[in-house]
Amino acid sequence: MSDPSSSSSSSNAAESIAKAAREAFEQSQLVDVSERDLALKAIREVLEGKKDEVLKANKEDMEAAETLLSQGKLSKSLVSRLDLSKPGKFEAMLQGITDVASLPVPTGQVTFAKELGPGLDLHRVTCPVGVLLVIFEARPEVVVNIAALAIKSGNAAILKGGKESLKTSTILSSLIAEALNKTSIPSTFIQSVSTRSEISSLLAQDRYIDLVMPRGGNELVKNIQNNTRIPVMGHADGICAVYVDESAVEEKALRVVVESKIDYMAACNSAETLLIHESLLNTLWPKLASELISNNVCLRCDQSTLSSIKDLPETSKYVTASTEDDYYTEFLGPTLAVKVVSSVNEAIKHINLHSSHHTDSIITENENSMLNWCKGLDSANCFINSSTRFADGQRYGLGTEVGISTGKTHARGPVGLDGLVIYKYMLRSKNDKGSTISDYEKGGNKYTHRDLVKSDPPF
Amino acid sequence: MSDPSSSSSSSNAAESIAKAAREAFEQSQLVDVSERDLALKAIREVLEGKKDEVLKANKEDMEAAETLLSQGKLSKSLVSRLDLSKPGKFEAMLQGITDVASLPVPTGQVTFAKELGPGLDLHRVTCPVGVLLVIFEARPEVVVNIAALAIKSGNAAILKGGKESLKTSTILSSLIAEALNKTSIPSTFIQSVSTRSEISSLLAQDRYIDLVMPRGGNELVKNIQNNTRIPVMGHADGICAVYVDESAVEEKALRVVVESKIDYMAACNSAETLLIHESLLNTLWPKLASELISNNVCLRCDQSTLSSIKDLPETSKYVTASTEDDYYTEFLGPTLAVKVVSSVNEAIKHINLHSSHHTDSIITENENSMLNWCKGLDSANCFINSSTRFADGQRYGLGTEVGISTGKTHARGPVGLDGLVIYKYMLRSKNDKGSTISDYEKGGNKYTHRDLVKSDPPF
Residue A457: its pLDDT value, please?
A: 72
Residue B33: its pLDDT value, please?
A: 94
Alpha-carbon gap: A167 to the closest alpha carbon of chain B (Å): 33
Residue B364: its pLDDT value, please?
A: 98
Chain B positions in Cβ-Cβ contact with residue A29 (cut-off 8 Å): 375-376, 378
CB within 8 Å: B390 and A259? no
**Is pLDDT of B48 > 50?**
yes
A408-431 burial: b if 16+ Cβ within 10 Å, else e: bbbbbbbbbbbbbbbbbbbbbbeb
Residues carrying CATH 3.40.605.10, chain B: 4-105+130-226
Q: pLDDT digit string (tens) for B288-316?
A: 999 999 999 999 999 999 999 999 998 99
A104 touches chain B (CB under 8 A): no
CB within 8 Å: A429 and B384? yes
Secondary structure (DSSP) of B224-259: HHHT-SS-B---S---EEEEE-TT--HHHHHHHHHH
Dist. CA B370–CA B388, nearest whole Å: 15
Q: pLDDT digit string (tens) for B182-195?
A: 999 999 999 999 88
Question: Looking at chain B from residue 107 to 146, which residues have their Cβ under 8 Å from any Cβ of chain A?
Answer: 114, 116, 120, 122, 124-125, 129-130
Residue B1: its pLDDT value, please?
A: 35
A346 touches chain B (CB under 8 A): no
The residue in chain A having the minimum alpha-carbon distance to the alpha carbon of residue B26 is A376
B-interface mutation test, from A437, A441, A442, most B Cβ less than 10 A away: A437
**Is pLDDT of B367 > 80?**
yes
Instruction: Give Rg (Cα) of chain A.
Output: 26
Chain B positions in Cβ-Cβ contact with residue A253 (cut-off 8 Å): 434
CB within 8 Å: A384 and B428? yes
Secondary structure (DSSP) of A130-177: -EEEEE--S-THHHHHHHHHHHHHT-EEEEE--GGGHHHHHHHHHHHH
Name the nearest CA neighbour of B48 among B96, B114, B109: B96
Residues carrying CATH 3.40.309.10, chain A: 240-398
Dist. CA B201–CA B439, nearest whole Å: 49
Collapsing DSSP to helix, strand or coil, A73 comes out as: coil
Chain B positions in Cβ-Cβ contact with residue A410 (cut-off 8 Å): 231, 409-410, 422
Alpha-carbon gap: A90 to the closest alpha carbon of chain B (Å): 21
Looking at domain A4-226, its CATH superfamily turns out to be: Aldehyde Dehydrogenase; Chain A, domain 1 (3.40.605.10)
Alpha-carbon gap: B179 to the closest alpha carbon of chain A (Å): 24
What pTM was estimated for this model as a whole?
0.92
The residue in chain A having the minimum alpha-carbon distance to the alpha carbon of residue B30 is A376
A429 touches chain B (CB under 8 A): yes
Nearest by CB to B376, which of A29, A412, A458? A29
Chain A positions in Cβ-Cβ contact with residue B226 (cut-off 8 Å): 229
Chain A positions in Cβ-Cβ contact with residue B409 (cut-off 8 Å): 129, 210-211, 231, 233, 409-410, 422
Residue A320, beta-bridge partner list = A300
Chain A positions in Cβ-Cβ contact with residue B25 (cut-off 8 Å): 378
Alpha-carbon gap: A115 to the closest alpha carbon of chain B (Å): 9
Chain A positions in Cβ-Cβ contact with residue B122 (cut-off 8 Å): 396-397
B447 touches chain A (CB under 8 A): yes
Residue B4: its pLDDT value, please?
A: 43
Residue B3: its pLDDT value, please?
A: 43
How many angstroms separate the first and last alpha carbons of chain A? Answer: 50
Chain B positions in Cβ-Cβ contact with residue A25 (cut-off 8 Å): 378
Alpha-carbon gap: A53 to the closest alpha carbon of chain B (Å): 33
Nearest by CB to A26, which of B124, B352, B427? B352
Secondary structure (DSSP) of B112-175: EEEEEETTEEEEEEEEE--EEEEE--S-THHHHHHHHHHHHHT-EEEEE--GGGHHHHHHHHHH
List the pLDDT tens digit at each of the 459 positions of chain A.
334 445 567 788 999 999 999 999 999 999 999 999 999 999 999 999 999 999 999 999 999 999 999 999 988 888 888 999 999 999 999 999 999 999 999 999 999 999 999 999 999 999 999 999 999 877 888 899 999 999 999 999 999 988 899 999 999 999 999 999 999 999 999 999 988 888 999 999 999 999 999 987 778 888 898 889 899 998 778 899 999 999 999 999 999 999 999 999 988 999 999 999 999 999 999 999 999 999 999 999 999 999 999 999 989 999 999 999 999 999 999 999 999 999 999 999 999 999 999 999 999 999 999 999 999 999 999 999 999 999 999 899 887 778 889 999 999 999 999 999 999 999 999 999 999 999 999 999 999 999 998 877 777
A-interface mutation test, from B264, B360, B384, most A Cβ less than 10 A away: B384
Chain A positions in Cβ-Cβ contact with residue B422 (cut-off 8 Å): 408-410, 412
CB within 8 Å: B381 and A427? yes
Exposed/middle/buried for B368, CB within 10 Å: 0-12, 13-18, 19+?
exposed
Asked if B130 contacts B150 with a C-beta cutoff of 8 angstroms, the reply is: no
A-interface mutation test, from B250, B437, B440, most A Cβ less than 10 A away: B437
Dist. CA B362–CA B143, nearest whole Å: 36
Alpha-carbon gap: B117 to the closest alpha carbon of chain A (Å): 10
Name the nearest CA neighbour of A393 among A210, A158, A160, A146: A146
CB within 8 Å: A437 and B390? yes
Q: Which of A210-219, A294-303, B48-57, B124-133 has the lowest mean pLDDT?
A: A210-219
Residue A2: its pLDDT value, please?
A: 39
Dist. CA A193–CA A133, nearest whole Å: 10
Give the single-character DSSP code of A331.
-
3-state secondary structure B337-399: EEEEECCHHHHHHHHHHHCCCCEEEEECCCHHHHHHHHHHCCCCEEEECECHHHCCCCCCCCC
Residues carrying CATH 3.40.605.10, chain A: 4-226
- Would you say domain B4-105+130-226 falls under CATH 3.40.605.10? yes
The per-residue pLDDT of chain B, averaged, comes to 93
Nearest by CB to A379, which of B225, B352, B424? B424
Alpha-carbon gap: B132 to the closest alpha carbon of chain A (Å): 11
What separation in angstroms does the CA of A218 have from each of A81, A271, A282? 20, 17, 37
The residue in chain A having the minimum alpha-carbon distance to the alpha carbon of residue B424 is A380
Alpha-carbon gap: A149 to the closest alpha carbon of chain B (Å): 17
Alpha-carbon gap: A433 to the closest alpha carbon of chain B (Å): 5
**Is pLDDT of B6 > 70?**
no
Question: Looking at chain A from residue 361 to 390, which residues have their Cβ under 8 Å from any Cβ of chain B?
Answer: 363, 367, 370-372, 374-387, 389-390
B425 touches chain A (CB under 8 A): yes
A452 touches chain B (CB under 8 A): no
Asked if B136 contacts B161 with a C-beta cutoff of 8 angstroms, the reply is: yes
**Residue B7: band (very low, low, confident or very high) from pLDDT cuts 50, 70, 90:** low
Q: pLDDT digit string (tens) for B325-348?
A: 999 999 999 999 999 999 999 999
**Residue B8: band (very low, low, confident or very high) from pLDDT cuts 50, 70, 90:** low
CB within 8 Å: B30 and A372? yes
Nearest by CB to B434, which of A222, A255, A381? A255
CB within 8 Å: A345 and B249? no
Question: Once rounded to an integer, what is the mean pLDDT over residues B132-147?
Answer: 90
A155 touches chain B (CB under 8 A): no
Q: What CATH number is given for A240-398 in this structure?
A: 3.40.309.10
- Complex ipTM value: 0.92
Alpha-carbon gap: A331 to the closest alpha carbon of chain B (Å): 20
What separation in angstroms does the CA of A159 have from each of A17, A57, A166, B459? 11, 18, 12, 42
Nearest by CB to B225, which of A229, A255, A395? A229
Alpha-carbon gap: A186 to the closest alpha carbon of chain B (Å): 15
Question: Looking at chain B from residue 9 to 28, which residues have their Cβ under 8 Å from any Cβ of chain A?
Answer: 25-26
Alpha-carbon gap: A71 to the closest alpha carbon of chain B (Å): 35
Question: Looking at chain A from residue 280 to 319, which residues have their Cβ under 8 Å from any Cβ of chain B?
Answer: none
Name the nearest CA neighbour of A449 among A118, A32, A102, A166: A118
Give the single-character DSSP code of A404.
E
Collapsing DSSP to helix, strand or coil, B411 comes out as: coil
Other Cβ atoms less than 10 A from the Cβ of B241: the count is: 28
Dist. CA B272–CA B269, nearest whole Å: 9
